[in-house]
Structure 1
Amino acid sequence: MMNAIIWPDAYLPGFTENFASNEVIVAGLAAADIWPLLSTPSRWPTYYANSANVRIHDDKGPELADGVQFYFETFGFPVEAQCNEFVPPTAGAAGRVAWHGWAGEPGMDDRLDVHHAWLVEDLDQGRVRILTQETQKGKPAAALRVARPNPMVNGHQDWLDGLVAAAREAQARQ
């Protein structure tokens, strides 16, 4: 059985203004190939064009860890974020990374709060599964929910596709 995202109660899908889910399963890569590209935010802009100006606060990093605060820009939003789940993949156990991200001031109409979670797990026959899901709260999230084509689903698919391509390129250089 494949693993699932662990949700904070306040961000349970179905009870927020927006939810996006994307997944790929590919052969020839392992969680160990994917993890360094995902767990190091400064690498995101190298394979995901919708990510920019990444900064990790408080002289932490370059890799995320529980409690690490960071900043990046995506979907036109300046996002402050705090990593609240960080479990690297090991033999027989999925890797998990998640963060609470926010843009705008609390109580304002432009406030957006998200929980963005990733799961990276090795499957049998030399395959890896990468699942990314995000729940969003606030008026901007409600607007994103009805936008067509869906910018969150399409953007996160671009992130997954770029992540897989970057892992394949790194593998080919070894």
Structure 2
Amino acid sequence: MQDIIWPEGYVPGFSDNFASNEMIVAGLSVADVWPQLDDTAAWPGYYSNASAIRFHDGTGPTLSQGARFRFTTFGFPVEAEVTEYVPPADGSTARVAWHGWVEGDAQSRLDVHHAWLFEDLPGGRVRILTQETQNGAPAKQLAQTRPNPMINGHQEWLDGLVAAARRARG
């Protein structure tokens, strides 16, 4: 199975917080689930923790390499830039990742790397992996919060993504 590609400074275990969520689902393919994440206008329809999405560079609502966008999640107004964008093609693994940040001083600044991987598996299954590392004082607080809001929030995102893909497929 494929892995997330981590930039320097965001490797799990060396960051202030790390969340990993994965689903393997039968009856769907990368072609079914990719459009639900790629189209940011769809996010609020299946994920309650994403709102106020807007693109700064005249692109969107679909993601693309280098696209700059802003959205609110976990109560934070996150600025983001897509750093990896590999759409599905001929059964290859699809990937998307963004660097996100919340401006602020040493107590409120937050930097994240949020990555997604979509992989078709034998037997008509799809693997969806999302992982995020975070750095900054807010990340340290989130890492110690129980239940873990990042794990729970990202699971809601995955569950909603799969449900939206199933609805779109009919």
Range into which the TM-score falls when normalised by the shorter chain: over 0.9
User: 1:78-97 maps to which residues of 2 (within 5 A)?
Assistant: 78-97=77-96
User: 1:25-104 maps to which residues of 2 (within 5 A)?
Assistant: 25-104=24-103
TM-score (norm. length: structure 1): 0.96
CA distance in 1, matches of 2:30, 2:89: 8
Pick from 115, 125, 130 the counterpart of residue 113 of structure 2: 115
The equivalent of 1:159 in structure 2 is: 157
Question: Amino acid of the residue matched to residue 169 of structure 1?
Answer: R
CA distance in 1, matches of 2:168, 2:65: 26
Q: CA deviation at 1:41?
A: 1.4
SS at match of 2:9: helix
Residues 122-145 of structure 1: CA deviation (Å, up to 9, x unaligned): 000000000000000000000000
Give yes or no for the alignment of 1:18 onto 2:17: yes
The equivalent of 1:142 in structure 2 is: 140
Give the stretch that moved more between structures: 87-96 or 65-74.
Answer: 87-96
Q: Any gaps of 5 or more consecutive residues in structure 1?
A: none
Q: CA deviation at 1:9?
A: 1.3
SS at match of 2:63: coil
Q: CA deviation at 1:104?
A: 2.2
| Contact 2:109–2:138 (CA under 8 A) maintained in structure 1 | yes
CA distance in 2, matches of 1:169, 1:62: 20
Residues 141-173 of structure 1: CA deviation (Å, up to 9, x unaligned): 00000000000000000000000000001111x
CA distance in 1, matches of 2:63, 2:167: 23
SS at match of 1:9: coil
Question: Amino acid of the residue matched to residue 112 of structure 1?
Answer: L
Residues 47-72 of structure 1: CA deviation (Å, up to 9, x unaligned): 10000010011211221111110000
Segments of 4+ in structure 1 off by > 3 A?
none
SS at match of 2:98: strand
| Contact 2:29–2:124 (CA under 8 A) maintained in structure 1 | yes
| Contact 2:111–2:136 (CA under 8 A) maintained in structure 1 | yes
CA distance in 2, matches of 1:124, 1:57: 39
C-alpha RMSD of the superposition: 0.8
Q: Any gaps of 5 or more consecutive residues in structure 2?
A: none
SS at match of 1:10: coil
SS at match of 1:78: strand
